[in-house]
Amino acid sequence: MKFQRHSTPEPEINLIPFIDVLLVVLIFLMLTTTYSKFTELQINLPVADAQNPPLRAKEIWVSLSAQGQVSVQRNALGRVDASTLANALGQAAQGLDDPVLVISADARTPHQYVVNVMEAARQNNLGRMTFVTQTGASARK
């Protein structure tokens, strides 16, 4: 009795179409990515559906990153304690009559960092404050 062996051909994996698809995806991502930098700290703003307020001349900007780095009036301070932050806010508020504190915090910033900024503002009698957000439409981009 003679048994015949059936040999199956080895499958070939053609990588050229896979590489073509990856290059098209890479080009698409490169063309659609925006490279704008609004502040010195990279932050993702929380989302809210509200109108943009008019620009005010007497504003003190405080930016908070998700890692706790602080920037006052676009001057990076790094990670600072409450007294250093209060001193920086006090210096920024000098000469301004009833300034508005604008807090721009990353969406992933721990709540404690925002409370520290609010406490430093209270120590300097800065009672008017607002938070920077982005609209729902710009957050989806």
Quote the CA–CA distance of 27 and 46 in Å, as a whole number: 29
Task: Say whether pLDDT at 140 is over 50.
Answer: no
Amino acid at 136: G
The tens digit of pLDDT for each residue in 105-115 reads 888 888 888 88
| Segments making up each domain of the chain, as ranges | 59-139
The domain made up of 59-139 has a fold known as: Nucleotidyltransferase; domain 5 (3.30.420)
C-alpha distances out from residue 123 to 27, 71, 75, Å: 51, 18, 20
The tens digit of pLDDT for each residue in 79-104 reads 888 888 888 888 888 888 888 888 88
Question: What average pLDDT is seen over the chain?
Answer: 80
The tokens 């405080």 sit on which residue? 62
